[in-house]
């Protein structure tokens, strides 16, 4: 089985962006910029290992930015991008068993699973591959005055991640002797006499370089945002098990339903499916189907998240409200958030769980049932 690794280059100081912290740790659409790329690789089934190359003194920022992900592998970078990549390759060499590697700039957070798929597929027949977009603007040479026009045929805007067979790119890096700094890894492989294939890129992979990019690209991404809401109610019965947000809670009553009746997870699943316009939980897991009797609702939530990823969306944030008189939700909120973030493979900061009562009004107020409402935001 082919083993694919990813290196996220995040060691820069962002001198052109300015600000107090490097751009890769700035907030973008609900989470740090670097977390978008990390999540894209982490959630992709073909990626087996991720190395994050960070700059000197960035350990605290990196750990905080990737909080909630299991055991990120950090490597100290070098003085230049090329040196940082070389250190990342060395770290992968120590782990061993890697066939292919995708090298990605943390400042390109719009990575989709389709781009990763195209790159890995290209390595079946090529030593290296890059995503690229054709140049559509007119081009010219000159200083303050236009001197001559340049034909744009066969000109490409090269993006990352760039994919390589591991041995070839590691050897090409070790043999690089030019005093001129390489702007990307494809150039290093080409200098070693190897061919690099071009696959279709993605406009969402634009690089964040200058302060205005945060506003300009952010506006573009609004059109790639989808929201959904969900609501569910289950009856309370004496002596049953009570599951809320994937956490079993000791209580005199439990919720009645065909599965484990986790009303909060059911509302959350409906919110995700609603954002994707893919129906509701009953369409995907019919109550009439005996295989779901007593089933853990974790399966339903995992299914909804995989549908979201398949459609090219990732979770920006989820907000769940549980409505009941008892039990008290407060003591369990953190455990609920942690459980949901693990099932959904997202950061803790992306999950909110709240609770309220109805002042003893209605079925919830009388202790006959529990209601849950959920809202999610998905982004590309």
Over residues 200-216, the pLDDT tens digits come to 999 989 888 777 666 65
Joined together, the tokens standing for residue 196 give 């690099």
Q: How far is it, in rounded angstroms, from Cα 241 to Cα 130?
A: 52
First CA to last CA distance, the chain: 30
Q: In sequence order, what are the residues at sequence separation of 6 or more whose Cβ sits closer than 8 angstroms to the Cβ of residue 314?
A: 36, 39, 40, 43, 308, 346, 378, 379, 380
Domains of the chain (ranges, CATH numbers): 4-222 (3.90.550.10), 225-379 (3.30.1330.50)
User: pTM for the whole thing?
Assistant: 0.68
Is cis: bond before 371, omega within 30 of 0? no
pLDDT number for residue 222: 46
Closest residue by Cα to residue 103 from 191, 173, 5, 201: 5
Mean pLDDT by 10 residues, the chain (380 residues): 94 67 83 91 94 94 88 89 95 92 95 95 97 91 86 91 97 87 92 96 88 60 78 94 95 92 97 95 88 90 92 91 96 96 93 96 95 94
Q: In sequence order, what are the residues at sequence separation of 6 or more whose Cβ sits closer than 8 angstroms to the Cβ of residue 124?
A: none
**Inter-residue contact 304 to 277 (CB < 8 Å):** no
Q: How far is it, in rounded angstroms, from Cα 367 to Cα 256?
A: 13
pLDDT number for residue 323: 98
HEC secondary structure over 170-221: HHHHHCCCCCCCCCCHHHHHHHCCCCEEEEECCHHHCCCCCHHHHHHHHHHH
Closest residue by Cα to residue 109 from 50, 18, 32: 32
Give 366's DSSP letter. T
Q: How far is it, in rounded angstroms, from Cα 51 to Cα 41?
A: 10
206-209-214 Cα angle (round to 5): 75
């Amino acid at each position: 089985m082919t083993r694919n690794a990813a290196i996220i280059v995040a060691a820069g100081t962002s001198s052109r962006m300015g600000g107090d912290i490097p751009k890769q740790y700035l907030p973008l659409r609900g989470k740090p910029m670097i977390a978008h790329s990390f999540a894209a690789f982490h959630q992709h089934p073909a990626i087996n290992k991720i190395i994050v190359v960070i700059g000197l003194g960035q350990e605290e920022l990196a750990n905080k930015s990737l909080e909630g992900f299991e055991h990120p592998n950090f490597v100290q970078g070098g003085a230049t991008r090329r040196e940082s990549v070389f250190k990342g390759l060395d770290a992968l060499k120590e782990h061993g068993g890697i066939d292919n590697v995708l090298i990605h700039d943390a400042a390109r957070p719009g990575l989709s699973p389709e781009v990763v798929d195209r790159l890995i597929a290209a390595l079946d027949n090529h030593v290296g591959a890059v995503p690229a977009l054709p140049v559509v603007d007119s081009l010219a040479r000159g200083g303050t005055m236009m001197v001559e026009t340049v034909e744009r045929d066969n000109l490409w805007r090269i993006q990352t991640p760039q994919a390589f067979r591991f041995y070839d790119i590691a050897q090409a890096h070790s043999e690089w002797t030019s005093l001129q700094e390489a702007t990307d890894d494809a150039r290093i492989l080409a200098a070693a006499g190897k061919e690099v294939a071009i696959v279709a890129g993605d406009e969402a992979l634009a690089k964040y370089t200058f302060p205005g990019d945060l506003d300009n690209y952010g506006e573009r991404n609004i059109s790639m945002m989808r929201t959904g809401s969900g609501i569910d109610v289950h009856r309370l019965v004496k002596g049953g098990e009570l599951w809320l947000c994937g956490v079993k809670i000791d209580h005199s009553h439990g919720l009645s339903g065909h599965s484990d009746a986790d009303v909060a997870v059911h509302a959350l699943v409906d919110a995700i499916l609603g954002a994707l316009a893919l129906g509701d939980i009953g369409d995907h897991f019919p109550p009439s189907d005996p295989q779901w009797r007593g089933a853990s609702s974790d399966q339903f939530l995992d299914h909804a998240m995989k549908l979201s990823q398949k459609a090219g969306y990732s979770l920006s944030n989820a907000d769940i409200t549980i409505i009941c008189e008892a039990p008290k939700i407060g003591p369990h909120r953190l455990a609920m958030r942690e459980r949901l973030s693990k099932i959904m493979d997202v950061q803790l900061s992306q999950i909110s769980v709240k609770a309220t009562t109805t002042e003893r009004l209605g079925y919830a107020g009388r202790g006959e049932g529990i209601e849950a409402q959920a809202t999610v935001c998905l982004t590309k």
